Amino acid sequence: MTHKLSADNLTLIRGERCLFQGLSFALESGGLLLLEGRNGCGKTSLMRAIAGMLSLETGQVFWDETPVEKQRQEFHGALVWLAHRTGLKGDLTLVENLGFERSLRAQSSVDTESVYERLGISRLKKLILRSLSAGQQRRVALARMLLADVPLWFMDEPFTNLDREGRALVIELVEEHLAKGGMCVMAAHQDVELKAPVRRVKIQ
């Protein structure tokens, strides 16, 4: 099943500053949308706007050719979100955190243990999140992504806090996801080398 995420003529004004104007793009299954630009240029804001968390000045975002505000639930059911703040509870254990996630979103049928194994977090299952390092917490957030059965990944600076091995793993995971017909919107200030087709959006 193929999907399409597109946007037409997006303009976003925050305070008195116009972050971007007349921005359009289209992304199909198997593709990566890379948002580029320096710090503070509005990459995160653009991502939040696409996901429906920020209201746009003009323009519309379409999911499978239907405006997202007309099908918020379907659209949100098709995406998973990874950002600076992981959205995991420091007082809960890894299993408790991901267990809560299970009741929010459709879950894929992959074996949970193998996902933990691959991300190198299977030893940490019983620990509370607060006691993990920033990089380990980020790996738990990645596990949430892998366990969700959704086509669209939103990744805001996914390489933050990760070691070299972790960064390579993220690229590998994204490539696999795209190869399976998934799609990904990624904001990154460093260059990302991928085999899959990359569509770049530069924000001034």
* Member of 26, 69, 70, 84 binding another protein (CB under 8 A): 84
Tell me the site size for another protein, rule CB under 8 A: 43
User: Half-sphere exposure of 202 toward its Cβ, with a 13 Å CA cutoff?
Assistant: 3
123 part of the interface to another protein, by CB under 8 A: no
113 part of the interface to another protein, by CB under 8 A: no
* Member of 31, 37, 42, 182 binding another protein (CB under 8 A): 182
* Member of 91, 165, 191, 193 binding another protein (CB under 8 A): 91
Backbone φ and ψ of 83, nearest 5°: -135, -175
Contact 189, 32 (CB under 8 A): no
Site for another protein in 141-160 (CB under 8 A): 149-151, 154
Whose Cβ is closer to another protein: residue 15's or residue 40's? 15
Residue 103 C-beta: closest distance to another protein, Å: 3
* Member of 4, 105, 118, 167 binding another protein (CB under 8 A): 105
Taking CB under 8 A as the rule, which mask of x and - marks residues 39-78 in contact with another protein? ------------xxxxx-----------------xx-xxx
State the Cα–Cα distance between residues 107 and 57, nearest whole angstrom: 34
List CB contacts of 103: < 8 A, sequence separation 6 or more.
Answer: none
Residue 4 C-beta: closest distance to another protein, Å: 13
State the Cα–Cα distance between residues 63 and 55, nearest whole angstrom: 16
State the Cα–Cα distance between residues 19 and 16, nearest whole angstrom: 9
The token pair that represents 41 in the structure block: 């240029």
Q: State the alpha helices, DSSP H only, in the chain.
A: 43-50, 72-77, 94-102, 112-119, 134-147, 164-179
Which positions lie near another protein, rule CB under 8 A? 1, 29, 51-55, 73-74, 76-79, 81, 83-92, 96, 100-109, 128, 149-151, 154, 180-182
